Chains A and B, each alone.
Chain A
Amino acid sequence: MPRELLKGNEAIAEAGVRAGVQAYFGYPITPQTELLEYMSWRMPQLGRTFLQAESEVAAINMVYGAACTGARVMSSSSSPGVSLMMEGISYIAGTEVPVVLIDVMRGGPGLGNIAPSQGDYNQIVHGGGHGDYHPIVLAPASVQEAIDLTVLAFDLADKYRTVVVVLADGNIGQMMEPAELPPMQDIRTEYPDWAVRGAQGRERRLLSSIYIDPNVEEVLNYRIMQRWNEIQKNEIRYKEYYLEDAEYAVIGFGTAGRVALSAVRAARAEGIRVGLFRPISLSPYPYARIEALANQVKVMLVTEMNAGQMLEDVQKATNGRIPIEFYGRMGGVMPFPDEILAEIQRIAHSLVPFDENPRQSWMKRHAELLGTLQGKQ
């Protein structure tokens, strides 16, 4: 396939189409609306189902129902819309049906704004719906990766009968980059042996998240956790840049990761031995690799477009063995590379010990920055 100049949202939609998605349900919300809009044109063209629901709550429950038929199904939304879907996601997890959800994150909390953000990390990776379940969460940093991870998301959802979230942000959704689309897969004709598609001539099947008897519910929970163990064993993904001889490591995912890449290159040009670790699977999280990196580098800098949500996972992985520093922008602000470069320089040239609480020390530094910005307004 030749390289095409593709907008993230549309590329994700077409990737879903080529992965054989049979039904899409959604509700418009910036900055992911082009994804839904593209589907509204493309799905009927192929004789597949596109449905704009009356709300995100309706959309996720339509996805839930369609997933029970064993069809490949997806939805997409952005932060506040995804918050509305949380109940449905928990039901989907409790029913053990495969679903792909795209979250193109924007500034929050609340209605917030439509600028790129990574404020949904905790909502998606660590929580959201009630109960013991873990979605697989994949974080693209480019249009190409958004395409590849969307296709992968469908395969993983099927393999583990789980929810897979592609966690992008407004930047990935709105950006155009050259990328290659995958070949078109055939729509499936064979359905899994749990799917409910009409029971004529066989014993009926029942899909539900209701287990009135707690002992039976506990068995379900155990099964979900067994599957999660398999996922943790098999599905860790990350990318490393310039880490071979690094004394310092920057850790960032998605857009924050690629902004950090520019900063790391600039720091390398100044002779600072720094590399970048970019987690791609946020759930399961690459704890073991980060733990190993803590034996190599002197300091890690976590950078996110939030107030340090992934920071806590890095701290868990490193367990106080080396200092961890943090730099974040919040509320829909995207950092420029020079901000992260300044942090790398500060760390590499620091003569004083680092604060034990990276978030508190970042907030002190950040107060000065916010003061300067307010002064300019």
Chain B
Amino acid sequence: MQIEVVIAGFGGQGVLFAGQVLAYAAMDNNMEVTWIPSYGPEMRGGTANCTVILGDEAIGSPLVRNPKAAIVLNLPSLEKYESLVVPGGALVANASLINRSPQRTDINSVFIPANEIAESLGDRRLTNMVALGALLTLLPVLPLQAIEQALRDHLPERHRRLLPVNYEALKQGAIFAERESIEISG
């Protein structure tokens, strides 16, 4: 079993951190996992992405052409990754910054206003956790509790006060995905 997740967006949207939280949760649940960022001469506001691969045996390639799932937090990332997700896979797109509908009908997708949900919780920086919560509803590779535990165990002390609102962001993302996801048609 191997699950590949690409998380992509603008630098500053927390795409690398969302991937790390997923990787921590996988490790803590005794899975094999790799996390690899796109790295380059990039800056805040430029594109950023990471690939997380979870599996039950030693991971081979840390990159794949066609991931099982993608979280895309902006339009350029949707343009790049929607066509690459494997048939039957999952796509979470940030509707706050993307004003078009999904084109694929052979994957499970959810278009979630992640910025608005994050802002309603008091902090736009929760966008990544809203999207991660939505993804784990479409692709239940780990329970939300595993992500919450990973945040508790690995977030630096100075950020601990933000734990409850992060849990809420994950939950709101999951609830939205439960309600609004578009299942594979045909």
Contacts and interface: CB of A to CB of B under 8 A. Distances in A.
20 contacts: A5-B154, A114-B40, A170-B39, A174-B37, A174-B39, A175-B34, A175-B36, A175-B62, A176-B20, A176-B23, A176-B34, A178-B32, A178-B33, A261-B58, A263-B61, A336-B63, A337-B60, A337-B61, A337-B64, A338-B66
B61 A258 contact: yes
A336 B33 contact: no
A338 B36 contact: no
Given A175-B34, A176-B20, A176-B35, A3 B27 contact: yes
Nearest to A142: B58
A5 to B, nearest CB: 5
Most buried by A among B24, B35, B58, B60: B60
Nearest to B2: A262
A178 B60 contact: no
- Chain B interface residue count: which class? 20 to 34
Nearest to A113: B40
A260 B40 CA distance: 24
Given A114-B41, A171-B36, A177-B34, A5 B65 contact: no
Most buried by B among A5, A114, A171, A265: A5
A259 interface: yes
Contacts of A3: 27
A338 B86 CA distance: 13
A336 B35 contact: no
B40 A258 contact: no
Interface string A143-182: 0000000000000000000000000001100111110000
Contacts of A20: none
B20 A5 contact: yes
A31 interface: yes
Most buried by B among A115, A175, A260: A175
Interface in B48-84: 58-66
A338 B65 contact: yes
Most buried by B among A31, A114, A176: A176
B14 to A, nearest CB: 16
A212 to B, nearest CB: 48
Given A3-B27, A5-B20, A176-B23, A259 B61 contact: yes
Given A178-B27, A336-B65, A5 B60 contact: no
B94 to A, nearest CB: 24
Contact of B35 (A177, A262, A263, A265): A177
A259 B58 CA distance: 12
B24 A259 contact: no
A265 B60 contact: yes
A334 interface: yes
A259 B39 CA distance: 19
Interface in B9-46: 20, 23-24, 27, 32-37, 39-41
Contacts of B27: 3, 5, 178
A175 B35 contact: yes
Contact of A5 (B24, B58, B64, B66): B24
Given A5-B24, A114-B39, A177 B33 contact: yes
Interface string A329-348: 00000101110000000000
Interface of A: 3, 5, 30-31, 114-115, 142, 170-171, 174-178, 258-263, 265, 334, 336-338
Given A177-B33, A177-B34, A178-B33, A171 B62 contact: yes
A142 B33 CA distance: 11
Contacts of B20: 5, 176
Contacts of B59: 177, 258
B67 to A, nearest CB: 11
Contacts of A170: 39
A151 to B, nearest CB: 20
A334 B35 contact: no
Nearest to A262: B60
B75 to A, nearest CB: 20
A105 to B, nearest CB: 14
A301 B158 CA distance: 51
A286 to B, nearest CB: 21
Contacts of B34: 175-177
A102 B26 CA distance: 29
A258 B60 contact: yes
A328 to B, nearest CB: 15
A262 B41 contact: no
Contacts of B41: 114
